[in-house]
Each structure stands twice: as structure tokens, then as C-alpha cells.
Chains A and B, each alone.
Chain A
Amino acid sequence: MACNKCKFATTAVRIVCCLALAILAQSAAAQYSQSERKQLKTANNFFETGLYEKALPIYIQLDSVIDDINLRYQIGLCYLKSRFEQEKSVSYLEEASVSAGTLVPLDVLWNLGDAYHVAYRFEDAMREYNKYITRTAKNDKADINKLNHCKRMITVCRNAIEITEQPYKVDIEPMMSLYTAESDFNPLISADESVMLFMRETGVGKGYETSLHIMISTKDADNAWAKPENVNLELDHKLQNQTAMLAGLSPDGHTVFLNFGEGLNKDIYSGKLQGKTITEVKKLNKNINTPYYEGAASITPDGTKLFFVSDRPGGLGGRDIYMSTLNKKGEWDEPVNLGDKINTKFNEDAPHIHYDGQTLFFSSQGHNTIGGKDIFKSRRTNGMWTEPENLGFTNTTIDDLSFVLNASGEYGYFSTSRNNSYGRQTIMKVGYKDPIPLTLVKGTVLAGTPPKPIKVDIKVYDKTTHEQIKYVYTPDTETGKYLMIFPPAKNYQLVISTPNFMPQLINIHIPYQNYFYELYQEITLQPIKLNNSEIGEEVMVNNVFYDIYKTAEADSITNNNSPQQPIYYEHLLELVENIIQTSDTINKLSYNTQSKKEKAQLKKNTDDLLSLIEDAINTSDSVTLSILDANSKQKDKVTETHFYTDGIKSKSVTMQVIGQDTFYTASPIDLSRFEIPTRNHSSINRQENINPVLFKVSQPDQRKVVHKHTLYYKLNESTLTAESKKELQQIIDLLIDNASIGAEINGYADTQGERSHNMNLSQLRAQNVLKYLIENNVDGRKIITQGHGESTARGKYDSRTHEMNYRRVEIILFELKD
């Protein structure tokens, strides 16, 4: 981006060069000694090659000994063209303009116009441009480029007058945590603002060589941006000698786009951001990269659309913004120019497609810019881009480079050199007041005891179109964290695959909403074990919704004096962000990290809450308690257990066809019943799910065998041994914990003795087990017992040594099929 800046307004440079030659010729007339003439030549050489910072001190030196109005003109131009102290150009050019058309070229008029424009003196600037146009009106040889420049600048000044007069409804402050004496620009954030990348140019305005660095900052435990550090780049040898420029960052913060290339042939590369290192840097395909310039890039949350900058032929002039779609092979298709609503004959740059997939921020020298590049915003509605709107508050009379906005639309970042005489950029944070209606889901998949993050693969489908929603959902390989952004009023299906567990299918409903929502989700997987074999697994989905808007609204009623920004709202936002950043367990929600100022308030809140409940109890006021219940922030928790059929995992999955993909997953978990609480609700009665499972009347084919266990007996024995009791303990626990699990207890006897005695014996064995289970709090209604008498169920009777195999009780644990 800095490079763009150096090269901007090539026409202007050309004009200046012609001008310099003219001056060289004219200055010969003034009284110069030979050494002074040599100095002047050196200065003019610097000037011609654009090294205004080097030419300037020489001109100033000469100006102190020689009275030449053209020297003053040159000094004015140096100030104007360099990044240093542009405002100083005004007085020199004003002086020179008095002699316009006589001692000094007529061009000084529009030069002065430029200087006034930069100094926000738009009326004065227009007057000078008009003077130039009038004075050259009769001249057929007048430079058409200069005239066009003046005409364009008059329009720009009109825009500027209009736009700078508009009040901005945003709070802007510099990001002090990043602040250095260096020039920081092109901030890029992940949708949840957990990572920021930006470019740092060191040495700007310090008189030594400048160099460019990619910097990274992450949020620390206090949710503040930590001190930025250099990003490590793992590059192959071809790229190692080139300067890497930031081009874009994916919404999940995992993919970075970079620019490499010689001269004007820059290309777009993608890389993976892992910690503070960018690895796997690869060039994007030939549909994206051409022998021309390709620069900044921005990808949609679903990962299917790439917006990028190119000056390839066939555009509308200069650099334009193009969009490419990911085809079914996973490759970028031939890009399309965004068209004349977005692109102009001037340069466009720095696209940032917002996470809603519809709002595009970009910079342009065209449209109603107030000077140089400005940031614009356009929305895509009905397949058309709306008229770009000048963002106003970010924009200055010189180049404004890029703008990014977080997912909620509350905070944006940009860089500006406003108020910096040396042109150093500073990253600014913008606070907006109109959030965007999206749901941001941030979550972790945990497994084991104690639960730890695991590697996980998540696929998300739109339930209606069956289209896979890609890319953003890729969880971090280290932490299992994932991030998703959902447009409202849709149903989604999540397929979560992890090693060692059955794939899980989770249905999510994102209701219609008109404000921003965040959902923190924690999915925990635990194996269910019985006597050292895994017989099933438990899936727990914990959801916490943060209804920021409602809280703010409620809070604004209590704090009548400051309805716009109650303290508690700020605190809550901070808290919410903190939780999301740290992605710790949901329990962390409870930890309040309040400032001292808020402690007193919180203590009072606790007092209020305690007396509120006490008063309600004293007055039997159930209404107040219902209101309290409905308005408190609660987590939603679903626990599902999946038992394996015959203890075999692969037998227990069912086929799911979603779109063109087939999955074998555990039975779906439906989260759709968790409506995001609507505002203004008073109470919703959750249906209590108490349908007793009728185990005893169930047919054997309705039962899914989960586990079998056999107890063996000595001859003619029917009482349980201590060892058998020990074996039964885990079965008892499982039966107690799982309402859906029943047991068949089948007693058997061997063939020794009377058949009727053996029948009784087998019944007694089964009954004793039943009795033991009931004594140990197992619900007797879940148990079916039967004595089978003499048993040859295990094959033909052949030898007395196997008799023990027939003296047994078989316990079959089963689950009723849905």
C-alpha cells in the first residue's frame, strides 16, 4: 500500500518534471555564482527524480543568499510534494503566485490550489484553480492534463466542503497500545478482533532508510491489544529477498494474503498464520495473478469469494477491484470486474468485504473523494452495488489507505497521517453505534477427562440449500477453536468429526434478528465406559448467548442520565470480548473483571439482587422471580448420549446425506429448540420432557443391544458373590445415569439334576440380580427378568468341564430405538 502511495499521481510527477526544466532555463537569468549554479543543478536533479527531501535543504540554503522568486517557488513545491510539513508550502507558493505568468510559471496557481486543498482551505483552492483555467483559456497550447487536474480538483474541493461539514456519529481514538514513533498502516483484523496485522514502516521522517515490516498484535488477558511484534515469515528462497506486503486477512484470522513481486508486477500469495508465523506461502492461481499488478485482497466468511485489486487490461482505468469465485474444484475462477458502480477511471484499492458478505469498504481516488484516496462504502443489494458513500470520518485531503470493520459493526480500524507533519501513519480505532445483524459463533471442541481441546474438522451446511459453507469454519489445529458467522433467519447443520468419536450432526437455528448476537459454544465429548470397554459416548453442547443489545437497553433505563453509553454496557462488552478471546470454559462467564470504579456499583447490584429475591419470597411474589429468571443470562445445555450397538462404534452411525456429501454420524442433536431469547419476552415455558420409557412392553426388535455381561455361578448356587457384585457396580451406575437404558436379566442353569429344580434355580439367579439392582437404586421398571431353566444356548452339551458356562446370568443392556 505504501508503494501505491509513492507512485500515486504519476501525471502530477510528469507535470512537475517539465516544470523543473523550465525553471532550470529561467534561473540562468538570476545572479548565481558558478558554485551556486552547480548547487542549483544538483538540487534540480534531485527534484526531477522526485527526491524532494534532498532537494529542499539545498534550495533553502540558496534562498538565504540569493533573492530569486523561483527558488521560493521550488521550496514551496518541495514541501508540497514531499511527505514533510506540507502545510509550509502555502506561504512560499502564495508569494510565488504573485508573479504567476511573469517570473514564475502560471502553474504556480494550480500548485497553490493543491497546497490550499491539502491545508483544508477549499474555497481558496477553488479560487486558484479557477484563476489558472481563466488565465489559460485563450492559450490553445495549454496543457490539457493540467486543465483536467484543475477541473477535477474543483470537484474534489466541492466534495470536501460538503463532506467535512457533516457531523460524524463515531468515536475515533488512536490505538495507544500500538503506538510508536514509526508509521503504522493497513490494519487488518479477524472478525472477532482477536488478531490484528498491520504494516509498519520504520524510519519515516527520521532521515534514514525506511524499511517495511509486517506486525502482529493479539489481545492479552485484559482484552487489550498487546505490544505488537514482528511476524515471522517462512519463505522459500525465491521470495526471501523480496519485501512482503500485507494484502488481506481471512475473517477467521487463519489465512493471510501477501503481495510479492518485482516493480509493478505484484502478485497475491496466501499463507497460514500460526501464532506469530506465516507459513505455507503459496501464489494464487493464474486467474488471480497476471503479469500486471495485483494487490490487496479480501475474502468472504464462507471462503467462496475473493475481492482483489488489479490493473490488468480491460478494466475501467488504473487499478480496479475484481471478484473471483471459488469453483467446485476448489480453484479461483476467472475474476469479474465489479463494474462502474465501484470502479472508476481512477485507482481503486484496499477492498474489505465485511463479514456480512454484502458491505464492501474500499479506497478510491474517484467518486466524491475529498482528495487523494478516500475510503468508500457500498452495499450489494439485489445483485447491484449501491452508490459508494464517502466514509467521511476516515478521510483526509491526502491518501487514506484502508478500512476494516469488525463482525458486529461496532469497531473499525484505519490508519491516518492527519496531524502528522512527517506523513507518519497512526492506526485509529473507530467506535460505531449501529451494530450489524449477524450471529458470531465462537466455540471449542473438548474431549477427555479433564476436557481438553482436540483436533476437529467441522463442516457447515445451509439446511435449505444444502450448500456447504466453507473456509471460516476451519478450527485452529492446536486449540480446536472455531469461528463461524451466520446471517440470520436460517437453519444450519454442523458436522463435527474428531478422532476417536462418532461424527456428530448438530442442527442450529439462527432466528431472525435485527441486532448483533454472539454465541459462545462449547462441545464436550466423553466416552462412556463399562468394564474397560467403550460402549458409547456423551456429547454435551453448551451455548451461551450474549444479548448485548438487550442488556444495554435495560441498562439505559436504569441510568437515565447517560442512555447512550452506560458504564455497565461497556463493562459487559469488555467481559464478553474477554470471554471470547480467552475461549475458556463457560464457567468463566462468572468471573467479573471489573474496574475499581465499577466494584461499588456491582456490590450495590448484589445487594439489590439479594433484597429483590428476599422481598419476593416474603411477599410470595412469583411474578418478580419469573421476570428475573427471564432476564438473566443463562447457558443452554444439551447432553446427548449415544450408545454403540453391540459395543461397535461403526454399527451405531446412521447415514446422512447433506447436499452432495454423505456422512455417517451419530443421531442428530437438535439445538433448534433453543430459540435465541426474543426481546421483550416475559416468559416461555420450556416443555418438560418426562415421558417414561416403557421398557417392559417393548418388543425385542425395538431394542438396541448396547452391552452384554455374564455372571457365572457355582453348582446349585444362586446368591451373588462379592466379585459379581463388584462387576455389577458399573452396570448399576450406567442404569441410574441413563433413563434410556434398560436391562434384560436372563437366568440359566446347567443340565445336572431335575429339570424343574433347574428352572427354579435359573429364576432365582435372575431374581437375585434384580433384587440387588433395585437395592442399589436402579428403577425396577427398567428391568426385565426371566429364568430359562436348563440351558444349551451356548452350543451342544459335550463335556462336564463346560458345565460352568451354563450356570450363569446374562445381563443385556439395551436402549430403545427411537
Chain B
Amino acid sequence: MKCIKTTLIAFATVFMTMTAAAQYSEYEVKAAYIFNFAKFIEWPANYIDGDTLYLCVYKNDPFGIILEKTMIGRKANGKDWKIRRIASLAETDKCHMLFLSDIKQHEALQVIKSIGNKPIVTIGDELGFLCEIGGTINFLPQFSERQFEINKDVANDIGLKISPKLLLLAKIISTKEDEF
């Protein structure tokens, strides 16, 4: 009996989510994903100084005020959010997450290089090349099989621990060809 009840609740939840889902715009959804990525990623000890997570948006910002609406006033794993919009590579220093939208591959490459081994989660906005060139996460276009892809090798290399739960839902990219 309890089982049936749980199933019903689960079904109802899915049903509700279906209907609720229709209301969101692309970047509302992406902002919500980013918020949740932070909950399922562990940065190296002491890398996050204090209780603030810095989310940076590099140059092109498609969110408008959505990031503020989604992040500000809410905590991810006990940490407050700060949104920074940056225009130069030097400013990537103070970022924990770095969102890249509408940039060319060669420019993305410069960003990735400048980050080096720092545990900064780079998140691409449907940048098909990002995970190939050393980015961590990339959103996939609508109606793809998965909603985002993760390069777990990059994450390992720079010392990020990504929850297996998140990896389960991602399209996994591996750049280490010898690893089978």
C-alpha cells in the first residue's frame, strides 16, 4: 500500500514538473543548472576562501538579471553567491565557476590556458568544442540526448570532485585517449 502511495506521489511530482516546466526560459533553466552544479561539485580544500562562491561570466552575458534572481539570496552548500562579469583573462583568478557564452574557439582556448590548473569550473553555453579543449562542463543544445556534457579528466586534473550523481546525467567526454 505504501508502495502504491509512493508511486502515486512520484507520478504526481513528475506530472507537476511537466506542467511547471513549460514556464521557464532557456536561461532560467541554465541558471538553475549552474546553481545545482555547485551543489554537486567539490572544490579542493581551502580553495574557496570564506563562504562565498564566485560565479563569473566572461564577456558575453546572455542571462541579464536572471543570474541574480536565481542565485542571490539562496545558498548552495551553505555558501552565498556572488556574480562577477569579467572582460579580461586576468580577472579569472577570483572565479570558482566561469561561464562562457558566444565566443570563438581560439578565444576559449586562451581562457582555458590562462586558467591552467586552477580548480575553476568552466561552463560552456552550447560551445561544442569546449570540453574537447579542456573545459569542464558544456550545455548541450535543446533536444539533445543529454542536457550537458562533462570532461571528467579535466575535472580530475584540476582537482575538482564531481559527484557521480551529476556524472550519471552527463554526456561524458574523455580527453585521455589512452585510458580505456
A residues whose Cβ falls under 8 Å from a Cβ of B: 550-551, 554-555, 557-558, 568, 587-592, 602, 605-606, 608-610, 612-618, 620, 622-635, 637, 683-686, 688, 732-733, 736-737, 777
Contacts and interface: CB of A to CB of B under 8 A. Distances in A.
Interface in B113-135: 126, 133
Contact of A591 (B16, B26, B35, B64): B64
A620 B167 CA distance: 9
A622 B146 contact: yes
A612 B66 CA distance: 17
The 7 closest A-B pairs by CB, nearest first: A554-B22, A590-B64, A733-B106, A631-B21, A736-B106, A634-B142, A634-B26
A379 B69 CA distance: 48
Contacts of A736: 104-106, 109
Q: Indicate the member of A551, A617, A683, A688 with the most B CB atoms within 10 Å.
A: A617
A610 B74 contact: yes
Interface residues of B, number: 49
Given A590-B62, A590-B64, A613-B32, A625 B169 contact: yes
Contacts of A684: 143
B63 interface: yes
Contact of B17 (A550, A589, A620, A628): A628
B24 A627 contact: no
A616 B148 CA distance: 14
At the interface, is chain B mostly helix, strand, loop or mixed? helix
Given A606-B28, A777-B109, A686 B144 contact: yes
A684 B145 CA distance: 8
Interface string B18-34: 11111111111100110
Nearest to B16: A558
A590 B143 contact: no
Given A590-B64, A606-B28, A606-B70, A686 B141 contact: yes
Q: Indicate the member of A555, A622, A631, A733 with the most B CB atoms within 10 Å.
A: A631
A590 B27 contact: yes
Contacts of A634: 26, 141-142
B147 interface: yes
B90 interface: no
Given A629-B143, A684-B143, A609 B29 contact: yes
A632 B143 contact: no
A347 to B, nearest CB: 49
B39 interface: yes
A783 B127 CA distance: 24
B13 to A, nearest CB: 8
A302 B26 CA distance: 34
30 contacts: A551-B23, A554-B18, A587-B62, A590-B25, A590-B27, A590-B62, A590-B64, A605-B20, A605-B24, A609-B24, A612-B21, A612-B32, A613-B32, A613-B35, A623-B14, A624-B14, A626-B147, A628-B21, A630-B142, A630-B143, A633-B24, A634-B26, A634-B142, A683-B143, A685-B144, A686-B144, A733-B106, A736-B105, A736-B109, A777-B109
B168 interface: yes
A616 B35 CA distance: 13
A515 to B, nearest CB: 15
B36 interface: yes
Contacts of B64: 587-588, 590-591
Contacts of A617: 36, 39-40, 163, 165-166, 169
Nearest to B29: A632
Interface string B140-175: 011111110000000000000001011011000000
Given A554-B18, A588-B64, 17 more contacts: A554-B22, A589-B27, A592-B65, A592-B69, A605-B24, A606-B28, A609-B20, A610-B74, A612-B21, A613-B33, A618-B165, A625-B169, A626-B147, A629-B147, A633-B26, A732-B106, A733-B104
Contact of A612 (B17, B144, B165): B17
A610 B35 contact: yes
A685 B145 CA distance: 6
Nearest to B145: A685
Contact of B32 (A610, A633, A637): A610
Interface in B53-102: 61-66, 69-70, 74
A675 to B, nearest CB: 10
B14 A550 contact: no
Contacts of A554: 18-19, 21-23
Given A617-B165, A736-B106, A686 B32 contact: no
A311 to B, nearest CB: 53
A629 B142 contact: yes
A628 B23 CA distance: 10
B108 to A, nearest CB: 9
Contact of B20 (A589, A612, A733): A612
A555 B23 CA distance: 7
Q: Indicate the member of A588, A615, A635, A637 with the most B CB atoms within 10 Å.
A: A635
A632 B24 CA distance: 5
A688 B128 CA distance: 10
Nearest to A625: B147
Contacts of A683: 143
A531 to B, nearest CB: 15
B105 A627 contact: no
A620 B165 contact: yes
Contacts of B26: 589, 632-635
Contacts of A628: 17, 21, 24, 29
A606 B72 CA distance: 11
Nearest to A607: B74
A617 B147 CA distance: 12
A313 B24 CA distance: 60
A24 to B, nearest CB: 74
